[in-house]
Structure 1
Amino acid sequence: MRLLLISNSTNAGEGFLEYPVGQIREFLGPVREVLFIPYAAVTFSYDDYQSKVQARFSELGVEVRSVHRESNPARAVRAAEAVVVGGGNTFALIRAMQQQGLVQAIRERAFDGMPYIGWSAGSNVACPTICTTNDMPIVEPASFIAAGLVKFQINPHYTDAHPDGHAGETREQRILEYIAANPETYVAGLREGCMLRVEGDRLSLIGNRPMRIFRCGTQPFEVHPDEDLSFLM
């Protein structure tokens, strides 16, 4: 299993995929073509999304094919050197993936060792379910079940913020609701500028910020990039 699960595509004041580009280069190694899944895009076209990703991946000498141009998307996944799943709306993404048979195809290839890169919604769909996304359910998927490439849930863009004058729930409170309803599941609050890398049975946190871990019956706690994360695997 080889996964690079990125919290966000763009840090404040930076360009698209600027901060993780070095990690993407190292992760892909000799791969020179990736299959891109653009279905999280809602307010802009899949063609535009492919072009945006290609502009960054061209720096790496990597060609970006998009699955929306394929006559048989599932077959394209099964033939791909690597798959890249972009962020946007997780509900739109998983519905299209389910409709085209991509969830199972990606799962099969990833478990055979195909490199998988996802950011934001693309990280959500690598989890057992999409239930820890931050997104509004603008469309209804067949189910919340995702690819299950990792055993735990990820909350991308995790923030500790509680703005002055805001009386609603914090992100932590929402996740505490989730683990109360799903007591056997870990949730990893992945802060912006950070990513998770899986190589076989090894999980690593990359970035300069800790990750917040939630599990029912345990006080939320922080883990740092140099710490053992095997308990999540």
Structure 2
Amino acid sequence: MQLLLLSNSTAPGRGYLEHAREEIGALLDGVRRLVFVPYALADRDGYTAQVAKALEPLGLEVTGAHTVADPAALVRDAEAVFVGGGNSFRLLKALHEHGLVRAVRERVAAGVPYIGSSAGTNMACPTLRTTNDMPIVQPPSFEALGLLPFQINPHYLDARPDLGHMGETRAERLEQFLEENDVPVVGLREGTWLRRDADRLTLGGIAAGAVLFRRGANPAELGPGADLSTLLSERARFDAPA
């Protein structure tokens, strides 16, 4: 299985996907046609055009899944799949409605590269439950693609006491998740990504790493280049089917 899971698609001071273009190019070496899944945003044509422009230097032809009558059939013939960010509830609802949960899962299991960004990275997890998004729509299930046996929290933010925010910190929210579910969570800071190559999982990026949360343990800092392959053998335990 070949995965590139980005915390974010735009890094400060850089263009769309620019911070990860080299990593994307390495993952998609030999690929010429990519299917982009734009359902996390309302402007699907504009979103697809943005991705096509960003990937043009890599010589990639980008087709939006929304442009065909049968998106699942398009994915089943894809050379690579990119699921973009936006609202993860809207995205997952559309994936279920268009038969894409099964189609993407099967295509990626067959060896086709998968890129996720933000909400698209959430989709690689077993469930939606560690998203940061508001539930603007209701998907039929929280079940996501399950390309990994653990959860990810993209856009992970460290606590900033100087901001005067009195609500829960991101760490506190993830600890609340772990009170109900026994499954590791990787908090990906901005500019970072996870790269899966078969049974090897590594942390990469241009920023200050990530944080690993486990039930009953203190959060653990992860530096760039960390080998997280042991997480691929985890067994997730959730409170109940969603």
Length-normalised TM-score, structure 2: 0.93
Aligned residue identity for 1:107: R
Q: Please tell me whether residue 217 in structure 1 is matched to residue 216 in structure 2.
A: yes
The number of equivalent residue pairs is 230
Structure 1 segment 1-233 matched on structure 2, within 5 A: 1-42=1-42, 45-162=43-160, 163-183=162-182, 185-207=183-205, 208-233=207-232
The 1-side partners of 2:101 and 2:225 are apart by 32
Amino acid paired to 1:80: A
SS at match of 2:219: strand
Report deviation, 1:177.
0.3
- The Cα shift of 1:70 comes to 1.0
Structure 2 residue runs without a partner (length 5+):
233-242
Deviation at 1:161, TM superposition (A): 3.0
What do residues 4-58 of structure 1 show as CA deviations (whole Å, max 9, x unaligned)?
000001112221111011110111000011000000003xx11100110010111
One-letter amino acid of the counterpart of residue 83, structure 1? V
C-alpha distance in 1, partners of 2:159/2:57?
Answer: 34
- Identical pairs, percent: 51
Task: Indicate the SS of the match to 2:25.
Answer: helix
Map Cα deviations across residues 150-171 of structure 1 (whole Å, 9 max, x no partner): 0110000001033522110000
For 1:196 and 1:100, locate their aligned partners in 2 and report how far apart those are by CA, in whole Å: 27
Residue 72 of structure 1, CA deviation: 0.8
Q: Distance in 2 between matches of 1:161 and 1:134?
A: 15
SS in 2 for 1:179: helix
CA distance in 2, matches of 1:128, 1:222: 23
Letter in 2 for 1:23: E
C-alpha deviation, 1:225, in angstroms: 2.4
Tell me: CA distance 1:135–1:177, structure 2 relative to 1, closer, same or farther (3 Å).
same
Q: Which residues of structure 1 form unaligned runs of 5+?
A: none
Q: Which amino acid aligns with 1:12?
A: P
Distance 1:28 1:122 in 2: 17
Greater than 3 Å deviation, 4+ residue runs:
none
DSSP 3-state at the match of 2:91: helix
How far apart are 1:229 and its partner, in Å?
A: 1.0
Question: SS of the counterpart of 1:84?
Answer: strand
CA drift of 1:224 comes to 1.6
Using structure 1 for the length normalisation, give the TM-score. Answer: 0.96
Counterpart residue identity of residue 227, structure 1:
A
Q: 2: distance between equivalents of 1:164 and 1:36?
A: 37
